[in-house]
C-alpha cells in the first residue's frame, strides 16, 4: 500500500486532493495542517506540522512513498499588486526544506504544484517549452514567478542526484469546492462567485475593464491528473501544463456565472483598480501524450457544480 502525504491538506487544493485520493483502498493518505484545523475524514491521518521548521518537515515526510506539495502562502490579485513579497519568503524556505528532506529520506515520488506565473502573454496557446529564462518575468509576478522557478529547479537538481521521481504541475486557475470566496483573499473565480451570488447586489463590480482572460480548470480534473502522474510517469523529471486549454474574459465569466444561477445582473467597472494583464491559455498536449490526461469538465458544468456546493455551505452576506 502506497503511503501518500499531502502537504497543506487543509487548504483549497490540498483538501480536494486529499479527499479524492482517500477514496482509493490501495492508498494510505496522510495530510499536514498547521493553523487551520483538519476536517473530518476517517481515511486521512492528519499530522500537525509547521513546514517552516526542519524537524517538523522531517517528521512528517518520514516513511512516506509519495509527497504532494500543495502547501503555500497564497492569496489573490490584491496582494499580488500591493504586497507581492508575501508570496516569496515563506514559500522559498518551505519548499527548500521539503525538497531537501525528500532527498535525504529517499522519497520515491515528489509532486510539486507550481503555477503559470513564469509565462508571458502570447496570442497562441502556451507550451512548457515556451518559457525562456533569458526573458524578463512579467513585472507584477516577478517575485512569485522566480520563487516558483527556483523551486522547480531544485526539483530538477535533486532528480539528478537521486532516483526520486519529480512531477512539476504548471496548473492554470483552479476552481471548485472549498476555495476562498472573500474579496480580499480569493482568486478571480471565488471573488466573482461572491460578487454575483452571495451578495444582495445585482450590480457586481469588476476591477479594471473586464477584458483580462483566465484559463479555468475544475479541481477534479487536477485530481485526476495527479492520479495519472502517479501511475504513468516514467522519467525522473517532468514538467506538465495542466489547464482547460481555453480562456474566458472576466466580463464573460461574470455573465456566465449569473446565467447559470438564473440571475440578472448589471456589471459595473472600477477602472481605478489596477489589473494584472497576464492572459495565458495553456497547451496541454504533453499531458495528453505522456499521461493520456485531458480535462473532463467543461466550464459550464464545473461552474454549476461549484455553485451548487457553495450554496450548500455558505450563507448570503
Residues 291-309: pLDDT tens digits? 999 999 999 999 999 999 9
- pLDDT of 49 reads 96
Percentage of residues in the chain having pLDDT higher than 70: 93
pLDDT score of 317 more than 50: no
Structure confidence at residue 144 (pLDDT): 87
In this structure, what C-alpha cell is assigned to residue 163?
Answer: 532516483
How many Cα atoms within 13 Å fall on the side-chain side of residue 74? 20
Is residue 242 scored above 50 in pLDDT?
A: yes
With a threshold of 0.75, does the pTM exceed it? Answer: yes
Ordered domains of the chain (ranges, CATH): 2-312 (3.40.50.720)
Q: What is the pLDDT of residue 315?
A: 64
C-alpha cell at 9: 491538506
CA distance 12 to 229: 20
Average pLDDT over the chain, rounded to an integer: 91
Q: How many degrees, rounded to 5, is the angle at CA 186 between CA 143 and CA 94?
A: 45
The pLDDT of residue 245 is: 97
For the residues of 180-216, what is the DSSP string, one character each? ---TTTS-HHHHHHHHHHSSS-S-PEEETTS--EEEE
The answer to whether the CB of 308 falls within 8 A of the CB of 262 is no
The per-residue pLDDT for range 14-61, each reduced to its tens digit, is 999 999 999 999 999 999 999 889 999 999 999 999 999 999 999 999
Amino acid at each position: 500500500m502506497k503511503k501518500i502525504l499531502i502537504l497543506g491538506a487543509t487548504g483549497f487544493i490540498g483538501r480536494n486532493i486529499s479527499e479524492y485520493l482517500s477514496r482509493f483502498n490501495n492508498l494510505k493518505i496522510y495530510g499536514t495542517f498547521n493553523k487551520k484545523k483538519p476536517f473530518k475524514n476517517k481515511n486521512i491521518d492528519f499530522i500537525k506540522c509547521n513546514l517552516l521548521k526542519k524537524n517538523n518537515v522531517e517528521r512528517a515526510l518520514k516513511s512516506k512513498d509519495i509527497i504532494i506539495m500543495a502547501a503555500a502562502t497564497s492569496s489573490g490579485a490584491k496582494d499580488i499588486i500591493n504586497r507581492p513579497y508575501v508570496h516569496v519568503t515563506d514559500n522559498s524556505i518551505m519548499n527548500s526544506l521539503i525538497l531537501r528532506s525528500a532527498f535525504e529520506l529517499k522519497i520515491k515520488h515528489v509532486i510539486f504544484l507550481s503555477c503559470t506565473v513564469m509565462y508571458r502573454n502570447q496570442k497562441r496557446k502556451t507550451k512548457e517549452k515556451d518559457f525562456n529564462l533569458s526573458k524578463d518575468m512579467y513585472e507584477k509576478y516577478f517575485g512569485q514567478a522566480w520563487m516558483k522557478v527556483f523551486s522547480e529547479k531544485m526539483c530538477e537538481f535533486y532528480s539528478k542526484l537521486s532516483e526520486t521521481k519529480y512531477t512539476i504541475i504548471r496548473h492554470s486557475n483552479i476552481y471548485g469546492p472549498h476555495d476562498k470566496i472573500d474579496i480580499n483573499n480569493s482568486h478571480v473565480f471565488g471573488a466573482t462567485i461572491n460578487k454575483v451570488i452571495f451578495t444582495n447586489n445585482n450590480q457586481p463590480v469588476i476591477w479594471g475593464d473586464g477584458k483580462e482572460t483566465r484559463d479555468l480548470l475544475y479541481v477534479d480534473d487536477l485530481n485526476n491528473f495527479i492520479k495519472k502522474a502517479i501511475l504513468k510517469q516514467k522519467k525522473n523529471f517532468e514538467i506538465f501544463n495542466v489547464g482547460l486549454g481555453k480562456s474566458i474574459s472576466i466580463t464573460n465569466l461574470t455573465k456566465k456565472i449569473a446565467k447559470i444561477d438564473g440571475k440578472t445582473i448589471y456589471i459595473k467597472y472600477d477602472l481605478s483598480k489596477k489589473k494584472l494583464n497576464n492572459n495565458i491559455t495553456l497547451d496541454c498536449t504533453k499531458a495528453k501524450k505522456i499521461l493520456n490526461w485531458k480535462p473532463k469538465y467543461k466550464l459550464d458544468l464545473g461552474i454549476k457544480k461549484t455553485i451548487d456546493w457553495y450554496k450548500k455551505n455558505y450563507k448570503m452576506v
